[in-house]
Amino acid sequence: MFSNAPRRLKAIADSLTTHLPLPQRQIRNKSSKAMESSLDPLVGLYKPNQLKGLYYGSGTVKDHLLSCLPSETSKAFIVTGASLANKTPLIKQIEELLTSKHHAGTFSNIKEHAPVAQLDEATSKVQEDSSIDTIISVGGGSPIDSAKAISYRVNEKSGHFLTHIAIPTTLSAAECTALAGYTKEDGVKTGIAHPNVYPSYILYDSTFALHTPPSLFASTGIRALDHAVELQYHPTATLMPCQWLCLLSIRALFEHLPEYKANPKDEQVITRLFLAAYASLGFLGGNMKGGLGLSHTMGYALGSPYGIPHGVTSCMTLGHVVKLKAKGDPKDAAAVAGILSVLPPKYGAQPSGDHVKDAEVVGDAILKLVEELGFKTTLTEKGVSKEQIDTIVARATGGLSGKEGQSEKEQRTVAGVKQMVESLY
């Protein structure tokens, strides 16, 4: 993926020794059924997802879509958004590839953050036709998550999941998980999870991304960066392949996002960014416990309730979150500091050995990249009143801010999150 790979891989190896120490005590045997990954002691299990194929490059959809259908008689239902359906030729191209033999219908009203009303409507259309065995999602996180949720609901009713073919047009990496988020009537995000909703095939076609507004494509690249960074300090993320490949993803995103901004028509750069997005989340495995991290939790607290795209929420929160994490826990500081060695020279510095100081440099590098891409913004600019601060903090801390009898650590956490939210205005 990179030029001058030996030097960069050495930097990655050096960074691993910084924050991923070998176990200091004997590792106990555990059954694979109950196995969880841990960094201290270094023990774990990587459970691959159910992906059957990942195609990438220019013209991938035209060349490979039909071969991804489960049978010669398969019927596919397309799920997408109005902009792709009405303002680009992409959906029509897919329908023409499928022909009437394989095309069972198209739902093109999936909105941002996947509101449940549209999800209900699309699910009903699929359930009305028992011949449908495949769902094709085209677009960003909302259509992809909606397709996963539809498959989940179909299984609840019929006892079988749909084959899911994902054709992403952003870098959100929603195609890389077995989770599906959607927005309830009250504006709060909820979701489902099941290993069988993971796409069977992912098609990263750079020609499709040419139709994505450059600001949307690049901002979702910061969302991918959010995945890769937060997995560095996640307590149950696997060392191999998840964290190692996330380091490669971080390097690639820092390198190629500015290149994309300079020339958003460069399909080589687009393809590299697609692969970096996949590396940021695609090797998570099936046994990680808990959410990704505070920046993602902040994203959910700010995203659907206030209509802010998740790419933009990551631009706002990630740099600040890694600084907060570093100050709160020595292990988190070491994990963040380990990122420093993979950053391009213009964004980083030589590791000092002081993990908190080095983590600050990483946080500043993220904020610098966000500003360079033109995404620096505030909650004030997004129309969020300061009266919402306590509500945001409560959502971001899982209600911890209103808990009685908080421990000292919990008090520090709530205070730190509140200070961070206030700084976003």
Looking at residue 269, what is its pLDDT? Answer: 98
Q: Which two tokens stand for residue 323?
A: 């600084």
Q: At what angle do helices 60-68 and 90-102 cross, to 10 degrees?
A: 30
Domains annotated for the chain, with CATH where assigned, are 53-212 (3.40.50.1970), 215-377 (1.20.1090.10)
Q: Which residues pair with 107 in a beta bridge?
A: 79
Find how far residue 414's CA is from the centre of its chain: 25
Question: 3-state SS of the chain: helix, strand, coil percent to 5?
Answer: 55, 10, 35
Four-CA torsion 171, 175, 178, 183, nearest 10 degrees: 70
Which regions in the chain score pLDDT beneath 50?
Answer: 1-33
Q: How far is CA 62 from CA 75, 82, 90, 135, 270, in A?
A: 17, 22, 11, 17, 17
Collapsing DSSP states into helix, strand and coil, what is residue 183?
Answer: strand
Instruction: Tally Cβ neighbours within 10 Å of residue 66.
Output: 16
Short-list 93, 275, 263, CA closest to 202 = 275
* Farthest CA pair distance, the chain: 64
Looking at residue 10, what is its pLDDT? Answer: 42
Alpha carbons 219 and 18: distance in angstroms, whole number: 30
Alpha helices in 159-266 (DSSP H): 206-209, 214-230, 244-262
Instruction: Tally Cβ neighbours within 10 Å of residue 103.
Output: 17
Looking at residue 28, what is its pLDDT? Answer: 32
Looking at residue 200, what is its pLDDT? Answer: 98
Q: What is the pLDDT of residues 160-175, one digit of tens each?
A: 999 999 999 999 999 9
Query: pTM here?
Result: 0.88
Alpha carbons 210 and 169: distance in angstroms, whole number: 8
**Three-state helix/strand/coil letters over 327-396:** HHCHHHHHHHHHHHHHCCCCCCCCCCCCHHHHHHHHHHHHHHHHHHCCCCCCCCCCCCCHHHHHHHHHHH
